[in-house]
Structure 1
Amino acid sequence: MHSLRGRRQSGFTLLEVMLVLLLMGLVVGTVSFTSLSSSKEAELEEQARRFQVVVNMVSDFAVLNQLQIGLRIETAETEENGYYFVTLDEEQQWQRFEPERLFTPVALEEEFFLELQLEDLPWQQEDSLFDNRLFDETLSVSEDSVEIGDEEEQLPPPQVLILSSGEITPFSLTFGFEPTFGNEGPVYFQVMAEDMPPLTISEPLDAL
């Protein structure tokens, strides 16, 4: 009798198994929902931190190889929502620069956006180390060199220069996510560059 009672007590009825499965399903559903709601912020932060690290490394590459490299940032309003690197060819035309995997163009998801600020940065001063004239004197593209019919093939000039001297165009780039539905609020990360690397990144912001 004790043996039979032990076997009965050690097992589970079908109702008990179904109850456990139901509770597990509720727990998994809750975890999945929580993970889904926070994944966009985490993904956005990952993109911002990736950008921070890549630009720092590209600056080191420019110094070590004595190259002048440009950074082109495309917003959601253009065909490309992301960024890529360029350099001048022998004909002084901007060309995509992808000598290594580090320079691979990056495209963001449609729900994310980029906002670039080059003027009125809080840390900019008149005695800034970065000289904007360097772009006009040595890295500008002559409009006379663009032949009729070739306009579509020409890449736009970069907004940010990463120079062999270690200097970089001061800028602030905002990575943003503004959901149009659901309970999530907007979130932003700002990556900032002063005259010289390394770039810095803000904590998550809920407003700009």
Structure 2
Amino acid sequence: MKLHQYSLYTRQYQGFTLLEVLLVLVLMGLAVSIVLPNLKPDDSDSVIKTEARRFAALVQVAHETALISGKDLGIKVTDHRYEFMVWQKGHWEQLTRDRLLVPVTLKKALKLSIRPGESVWKEALEQESKNNGILLSEKTDSKKKEPNLFIWSSGELSPAEVTFAADKKNGHQQRIILHETGQIELKDALAEAYL
């Protein structure tokens, strides 16, 4: 009988239980999830790519929203922020009743810039503003907000190139090219340099 008790005693302490292994894995996962975000800087390539992809996706949502709702939309872009606007009651207002198209503020280490595309669309808007006194004017009031990018209910976009980059010089860049037809391209400036 003592031999039987000895074999049960040695079996009991030969290895770890499944519960103990799972507990160690959960604790390691928690430690990694706390430490890993602190290792990446705010201007890392992955953060820039993520922000650029988010902007491109939101522009696509805004484009579809303009088509469905029949309202002209715009995007006001500054160095570290962009917000969506709607043309109603004869002026531009911030879009407030949309869960996805909310203002986005970038981290301080990131910078946003915009370069207008073809000048044909801008000339047409200026001519329309002279005729009707709406949509676009050269004189801008500091209190009055007007978008840099336009998304018309007809499905057209104002062509432009939007660049997300690290605030420091010679950092990684992601470019979003908006075509007048509504096509949106996401280009990696670093990958293009090697082509």
**Over residues 38-87 of structure 1, what are the superposed CA-to-partner deviations in whole Å (9 max), with x where a residue is unaligned?**
77321221110011011011111111111111111011xxxxx1101112
Residue type of the alignment partner of 1:171: A
Q: Flag as ranges the 4+ runs of structure 1 deviating above 3 A.
A: 32-35
Note if 1:70 corresponds to 2:74.
yes
| Structure 1: stretches of 5+ with no match in the other structure | 12-24, 76-80
Residue 118 of structure 1: how far off its partner (Å): 1.1
Note if 1:187 corresponds to 2:172.
yes
Note if 1:205 corresponds to 2:194.
no
Matched residues, number: 170
**Over residues 102-142 of structure 1, what are the superposed CA-to-partner deviations in whole Å (9 max), with x where a residue is unaligned?**
210000000000121115xxxx5xxx9x6334423161259
Note if 1:93 corresponds to 2:91.
yes
SS of residue paired to 1:88: strand
TM-score (norm 1): 0.64
Which residue of the partner structure matches residue 18 of structure 2?
A: none
SS of residue paired to 1:57: helix
Label 1:85 to 1:42 Cα distance change in 2 as closer, same or farther (>3 A): same
Note if 1:107 corresponds to 2:105.
yes
Residue type of the alignment partner of 2:45: E
* Residues 188, 207 of structure 1: 8 Å contact kept: no
Match of 1:43 among 41, 47, 56: 47
Label 1:82 to 1:206 Cα distance change in 2 as closer, same or farther (>3 A): farther
Range 131-140 or range 45-54, more displaced: 131-140
Q: Structure 1 CA distance, aligned partners of 2:81 and 2:88?
A: 23
Label 1:102 to 1:170 Cα distance change in 2 as closer, same or farther (>3 A): same
Residue 179 of structure 1: how far off its partner (Å): 5.1
* Residues 44, 112 of structure 1: 8 Å contact kept: yes
* Residues 114, 161 of structure 2: 8 Å contact kept: yes
Match of 2:144 among 125, 131, 154: 154
| Structure 2: stretches of 5+ with no match in the other structure | 1-6, 16-27, 130-134
* Residues 93, 154 of structure 1: 8 Å contact kept: no
Task: Tell me how large the CA RMSD over aligned residues is.
Answer: 3.8
Q: Structure 2 CA distance, aligned partners of 1:118 and 1:67?
A: 22
Residue 166 of structure 1: how far off its partner (Å): 0.8
Q: Structure 2 CA distance, aligned partners of 1:82 and 1:52?
A: 14
Match of 1:131 among 121, 138, 145: 121
Match of 2:156 among 167, 170, 177: 167
TM-score (norm 2): 0.67
Residue type of the alignment partner of 1:82: R
Percent sequence identity is: 21
Residue type of the alignment partner of 1:201: L
